[in-house]
Each structure stands twice: as structure tokens, then as C-alpha cells.
Amino acid sequence: MSALAAGPGLVEWLLLAAVLFSIGLYGVLTRKNLVAILLSVELMANAVNLNLIAFSHFQGNLEGQVFALFSIALTVAEVGVGLAIVILVYRQKGGIDADELRELRG
């Protein structure tokens, strides 16, 4: 991978972001509680931002940081609306179990 010289390179940071993304995906697929699913989505978004900023650092470019800041703002908006929907589901059903949301199933 990298010579043990100046520190971790781009590849190491990208692999760390890939690990976090995969763990987040596992959480999204496995959890039943809606808020827990949103937490795992947060994890995946965080990994994406880490990826962007690592690229920005190692290419000497600011565009990656701009993109990451946009991504952070969009994630905040998505979580706000997502949690509003979770609260609506809770009002309808008394709980937020993803297995109980079956009305649209074929």
C-alpha cells in the first residue's frame, strides 16, 4: 500500500471510509426500529464525507471540501424531514417497527 514514510495515504483513508460505509449498510439492512435505521444512514453519510475530504486533502483541491459541506447540509435536512415522518408513523401506529409498515406491499 504505502511506504511507511510520511503517514497514511489516500488509500488508507478511503479504506477506512469503505469500512464505515459497509458497517452502516449492515445497520440499515438489519435494524427494525426506524430511528436505528436513520442512525445507520447517518453513518453511511459520514463515511461519504470522510471520503470526499480525504480526496480533497490528497489532491490539494478545495472542491472536495465544498462538496462535503454541501453533503453535511443536505444530510441535516434529510434527517429533519425523516424524523418528522418517523413521528407521524409513531402517531399512526403507536410504535416504529419497520416490520409493521406493510400497507404498500404487493
Partner 1 sequence: MQAWLLFVVVGSVLVGSAVAVVATRDLVRAVLWLALGLITTAVAYMALSADFIAAAQVLLYTGGIVTLMLFAVMLTRRLDGAKVAVAAGLGGTRGPIAGIALFGLLAVAILEGSPARGERLMVADSAGLGVAFLTRHVLAFELLSVLLLAAMIGAIALARKDTQTPLPRTTRPPLPQDDA
Nearer to partner 1, 99 or 103 (CB): 99
Q: How far is the CB of 103 from partner 1 (least distance, A)?
A: 18
Decide whether 66 or 105 has the Cβ nearer to partner 1: 66
Q: Find where cell 440499515 sits.
A: 28
Q: How big is the CA angle at 71 (ends 65 and 72), to the nearest 5 degrees?
A: 90
**CA count, 13 A, side-chain hemisphere, 104:** 2
Quick check: helix, strand or coil at residue 97?
Answer: strand
87 is an interface residue for partner 1 by CB under 8 A? yes
Which listed residue (15, 92, 100, 101) binds partner 1 by CB under 8 A?
Answer: 15
Asked whether position 80 contacts partner 1 by CB under 8 A, the answer is yes
